[in-house]
Amino acid sequence: MAGEIHIPTLAPEVVFQIGSINVTNTMINAWIAIIIFLVLGIFVRRAVRLRPGKLQNTCEFFLEGVLGYFDQVTGDRKKTIKFLPVVGSIFFFILLSNWLGLLPGTGSISVGHNMLLRPANTDLNLTIVMALVAVIASHVYAFAAIGVFTHLGKFVQIGNLLKSFKKGPIAVFTAVIEFFVGIIEIISEVAKVVSLSLRLFGNIFAGEVLISVISALVAALVPTPFMMLELLVGLIQATVFAMLTIVYLTVASEAPHGAEEH
C-alpha cells in the first residue's frame, strides 16, 4: 500500500529555534555540507606532502579537472586560479548539498509535523544569496583588475553625455543611446541574480517533489533510477552555476573596448 505523500512546500520548514533565530531543515543540510568541507579541508591540509598520498592525489585529480574546465572560459590559468576561491567554493558546495539531499532520511525523517532534513538548494533564500555573491564578486574583481571608474563607466557615462553637447547633435544622440544602454546593463545585472537563483532553485525543488511523490506511490526500488538522474542533475546544476559565475567574473574584469588605446 502506498505511503502518505508528503509534498514539499516552497518555503523551508522551521525545525527548532535558537533564541530568535529560526533553524530550518534546509539550513541543517547546508551546515552538514559546510562541516564536511571543513573536516575534509583539515584532513587534506594535514596530508599535504611532496609525495602525495591517496587523499591528496584524489583532491588534486578533482582540482585539475575543475581548473581545466575553468580555463576554457578564462583562457588564462592565472585568472582561473584568481577566481578559484569564489567559483570553486560555489561549485563544490552546490554539488555536495545537492547530493546530500538524496541521502536516506532526507525528506522522510520528521520532527513534529516538519521534515528534519531537506536539500539546501530548495531554499530560495540560499540560491539568491549565492547568486548575489557571484554577481557582487564579479564587480569586486573588476574594480581590482581595471579600476573603479573604468568599470563603472561600462554602465553610467554621464560625463560623455555632458561633453557631447559641445560636439553637436550627432554626438548628443550617440551619448544618449550609450546612457540608456548603460541602464539596460544595470538591469541585466539584476537579471543575472534572478536567473541564477531561480534556475538552481527550480531544478532542485522539482527533483525533490518528483522523488517524494514516486517514493510514496510505488515500491522502494522504483525511485532508484530517478535518484540516479538527480545525481546527474545535481552535477549539471553545480556546473552551470559555477560556469556562469566564472563567465561573469571574466567578462567584468576585462577592460571595455577602446580602453587600452586610452
Helix (H) or strand (E) holding 115: strand 114-115
Instruction: Examine residue 6 and state whether it is found in any structural domain, yes or no.
Output: no
Instruction: Examine residue 1 and state whether it is found in any structural domain, yes or no.
Output: no
Q: What was the pLDDT predicted at 139?
A: 93
Is 119 in contact with 232 (CB distance < 8 Å)? Answer: no
Question: What is the distance between the alpha carbons of residues 240 and 204, in angstroms, rounded to a whole number?
Answer: 13
Q: Cα 232 vs. chain centroid, distance in angstroms?
A: 17
Task: Report how far apart the first and last C-alpha atoms of the chain are (Å, whole number).
Answer: 74
Instruction: Examine residue 186 and state whether it is found in any structural domain, yes or no.
Output: yes
Looking at the DSSP bridge assignments, the partners of residue 21 are: 18
Q: What was the pLDDT predicted at 134?
A: 94
Looking at the DSSP bridge assignments, the partners of residue 17 are: 22
Instruction: Examine residue 112 and state whether it is found in any structural domain, yes or no.
Output: yes
Quote the DSSP letter at residue 156.
-
Instruction: Examine residue 221 and state whether it is found in any structural domain, yes or no.
Output: yes
Q: What was the pLDDT predicted at 50?
A: 78
**pLDDT in single tens digits along all 262 residues of the chain:** 444 556 667 778 888 888 888 888 889 999 999 999 899 888 888 878 878 888 788 888 888 888 888 998 898 899 999 999 999 999 999 999 989 887 776 766 777 777 788 888 989 999 999 999 999 999 999 999 888 888 887 787 665 555 665 666 776 667 677 777 778 888 999 999 999 999 999 888 888 777 777 766 665 555 677 778 888 888 999 999 999 999 999 998 887 755 544 4
Locate cell 570553486: which residue? Answer: 88
DSSP assignments along 190-230, one per residue: HHHHHHHHHHHHHHHHHHHHHHHHHHHHS-TTTTHHHHHHH
Instruction: Examine residue 257 and state whether it is found in any structural domain, yes or no.
Output: no
Instruction: Examine residue 236 and state whether it is found in any structural domain, yes or no.
Output: yes
Instruction: Examine residue 196 and state whether it is found in any structural domain, yes or no.
Output: yes
**Counted domains in the chain:** 1
pTM of the model: 0.82
Q: What was the pLDDT predicted at 147?
A: 87
Helix (H) or strand (E) holding 114: strand 114-115
Q: What was the pLDDT predicted at 193?
A: 94
Three-state SS letters, 7-52: CCCCCCCEEEEECCEEEEHHHHHHHHHHHHHHHHHHHHHHHCCCCC
Question: What is the distance between the alpha carbons of residues 234 and 181, in angstroms, rounded to a whole number?
Answer: 36
Q: What was the pLDDT predicted at 119?
A: 86
Domain with 95, as residue range(s), is 14-252
Q: What was the pLDDT predicted at 221?
A: 56
| HSE-up (13 A, CA, CB side) for residue 221 | 0
Question: What is the distance between the alpha carbons of residues 73 and 240, in angstroms, rounded to a whole number?
Answer: 12
